[in-house]
A = this chain, B = another copy of it.
């Protein structure tokens, strides 16, 4: 699948920080697949991973070690190497003149850093006093893409969301852990977890760091980031984040109540026209709705099972699935860069 170059003329130097990680690799793939106008790509990583060779289209590029001098001449610096790396190096990259798009949690709630999902609030990206734009958390991105068109019409009052999150959200090693554990169980052995804090194969668990009030950090992200992206601190969010033994692709069961009553029929109309959304628009039937194995490897946010609530008039329920490495991370970051050029 090849696209014509979208931006004839100018091309850019793009650094990818954390290029050997799950999201970093997806960023490289996405830049190539979408034919981002690149004059030079600069994969960066820690000393441990420097020297590795990564494919980029037809060429192979050696990963350089991240350092204070890495960003000379760089136009866009896409960060995905964890919060502490971003805290240290994002300001250095910005100072060197790069537009930083950071996939970590380091800058997301900084009032001077816009938190951007292109389909939802691209305008916010234009005001970036620190030269840094933050990419939201994967579970938040797919939710706000699905909810913004409805919020614009009926203003959201309350969201109850329970997630079914894939292991790839925790990185390569977590996926490998799940696969090794699954093989052990199938072979009648005890699984020996290497990344997860217990058995992940054929199990569900919440494995994120603890946040305040007995919520996980991931749950607080879904509350705070949703409000910041939507620009409405009055939105109530009741989140429960759960990891399921899926390789890639997050799913979310979402109940939404509005200030102005919504109907499933109207919501479907809005979602059919919404950017970045594929509405799975059919009556309930077993197995005929968005699923992680179908979404994985694709770009859209799939919304299905849109139905009027049985308890609260004017509320609806929906099931939202997306590739957490793509729209949930790498694709969203690259889309931000695309719209800035």
- A contact residues vs B (CB 8 Å cutoff): 158-160, 162, 164, 179, 182-183, 186, 196-199, 202-211, 213-216, 223, 236-240, 242, 244-247, 251, 253, 255, 264, 283-289, 291-293, 305-312, 315, 317, 319
Q: Please name all residues of chain B whose beta carbon is closer than 8 Å to the beta carbon of A291 when the two chains form the complex.
A: 198-199, 203-205
Contact status B305-A214, CB under 8 Å = yes
Q: Which of A213, A244, A287 is the most central at the interface, judged by chain B CB atoms within 10 Å of its CB? A: A287
Contact status B182-A186, CB under 8 Å = yes
The copy count of this chain in the complex is 2
Contact status B293-A203, CB under 8 Å = yes
Q: Which of A204, A240, A306 is the most central at the interface, judged by chain B CB atoms within 10 Å of its CB? A: A204
Q: Please name all residues of chain B whose beta carbon is closer than 8 Å to the beta carbon of A208 when the two chains form the complex.
A: 286
Give me 8 A-to-B residue pairs in the complex whose CB atoms sit less than 8 angstroms apart, sorted by A's number. Answer: A162-B253, A164-B244, A203-B293, A204-B291, A214-B306, A238-B255, A239-B310, A242-B319
Q: Please name all residues of chain B whose beta carbon is closer than 8 Å to the beta carbon of A245 when the two chains form the complex.
A: 202, 244-246
Contact status A204-B246, CB under 8 Å = yes
Q: Which of A238, A242, A308 is the most central at the interface, judged by chain B CB atoms within 10 Å of its CB? A: A238
Contact status A238-B164, CB under 8 Å = no
Compute how far the CA of A162 lies from the CA of B238 in the bound complex, rounded to whole angstroms: 13
Q: Please name all residues of chain B whose beta carbon is closer than 8 Å to the beta carbon of A203 when the two chains form the complex.
A: 246, 291-293
Compute how far the CA of A170 lies from the CA of B283 in the bound complex, rounded to whole angstroms: 22
Q: Which of B183, B242, B292, B305 contacts A253 (CB 8 A)?
A: B242
Contact status B317-A196, CB under 8 Å = no
On whether A242 and B308 interact (CB within 8 A), knowing A183-B186, A186-B183, A203-B292, the answer reads no
Q: Please name all residues of chain B whose beta carbon is closer than 8 Å to the beta carbon of A287 when the two chains form the complex.
A: 196-198, 205-207
